[in-house]
Amino acid sequence: MVNFRVQRAILVAIVAAVLVRALLPYLDAGAFIVRAAGLSVGVSGRLASARAYATTRRDLAPIATRHGAVPARLYQPSSFSRTVLLVPGVHMDGIDETRLVGMAEDLAETGYAVVTVAPPDLRRFQITPANTDVIEDAARWIAAQSDLAPDGRVGMVGISFSGGLSIVAAGRDALRDRVAFVMSFGGHGDLGRVMHYLTTGQTPALPADPTAGGVVAGAGSMHILPPHDYGVTVVLLTFADHVVPAEQVAPLRAAILVYLTASSLTLVDMTRANAEFARARTVGDGLPEPSRTMMRHVNDRAVDTLGPLLARVVDGITAHPDVRAMSPEQVPPPAAPVFLLHGSEDTVIPPIETVMLATHLRAHTRVTGLLSGLITHAEVDKSAALGDVWALTRFWRALMSS
């Protein structure tokens, strides 16, 4: 007969094995956050490295979409169970954007195969229905590849405006049954509502309890701050044809693109960024009125002046079919689980978008939402409270189990 000490040792071993099995997914989620936040030092860094899969990166043949073939890149870990389509926000560098590359690598090291695709209009700083079509077509292509999606399903992660557009795509009839989960990282629920915020600084009233819609508030609270000048400038680019004479639209948009290019360069090369900011002023000064004044507001980052000039135009088109078609709250919802992650002080797309979208979607599908102090607009910031780290770890653990 097995004696008591042996029985106890077996019991302890079983309990330890169960605990390890239960805790490993949280360890993997935490390791992802450590890598994403650039905290890979000390004990946490060693643990994150120990749990990281070896990965390879290669460019794929361009993926055919209804708006032309688009470049694609595959980040493939040594072992994976799910492929994720990762789509950047509004940025000229597309799949080469530094933060997107970092997130793709971090996800791959966590055990996902990752395919990155950038809709061409987003690279041109344009938010259009074509972006949603490209996301849908790319996701359908992945789901049809037996080596990438053995079960015929794909995960979807969209950053910034691509977050809301990915949810829209995931709800379309041709894709909805092929989606394992869809995640919006700093995305929108209603595009017209976001444009109203960017031009006025106004949002619907803050809910007394953001958790009422199923959104966890993390260790921080939700704050609505004045909008970022980058977002207001993208709105002007989009609606330039509504605010200046027809013959001035193309020159004004060209000047705005110089400024937005400079803004993008601030993340990687301040010398080039400053040179482009100076060029934006020179180009703007050469425009006729009223474009010259509009561009001066852009260069001066005069959100309080430029916003009201655009507000009437923006509010007049919120019911336009194209705007509604790009708003997750206005179209059929996905059948797959939805994950909503948002910075609690986001000034491009306000965090109330996640609260309102979660409230809307929870009647249709499983929704997991988090407002986090660890997130800025669409990236992880390493200065955060322990409570935010734990909340984000639980969020990623839930996503990884989908």
Q: How far apart are the first and last CA of the chain?
A: 44
Say if residue 231's pLDDT is above 50: yes
Q: Which residue has the higher pLDDT, 347 or 137?
A: 137
Does the domain at residues 52-224+322-400 carry the CATH identifier 3.40.50.1820?
Answer: yes
Tokens standing for residue 149: 């999606």
Over the stretch 28-78, which tens digit does the pLDDT of each residue have? Answer: 544 455 555 555 544 444 444 545 678 899 999 999 999 999 999 999 998
pLDDT band, residue 390 (cuts 50/70/90): low
Residue 10's alpha-carbon distances to 5, 6, 183, 315, in angstroms, are 9, 6, 42, 68
- The model's pTM: 0.84
Angle between the N-to-C axes of helices 291-299 and 303-317, in degrees from 0 to 180, rounded to the nearest 10: 120
- How confident is the model at residue 8, as a pLDDT? 44
Name, in order, each residue with C-beta under 8 angstroms of 291's C-beta and a sequence gap of 6 or more.
Answer: 244, 248, 251, 252, 255, 284
Q: Give the mean pLDDT of 119-123.
A: 95
pLDDT band, residue 9 (cuts 50/70/90): very low
The amino acid present at 201, given as its one-letter code, is G
H-type alpha helices, 144-288: 161-170, 191-200, 229-238, 246-265, 270-285
The full set of domain ranges for the chain reads 4-45, 52-224+322-400
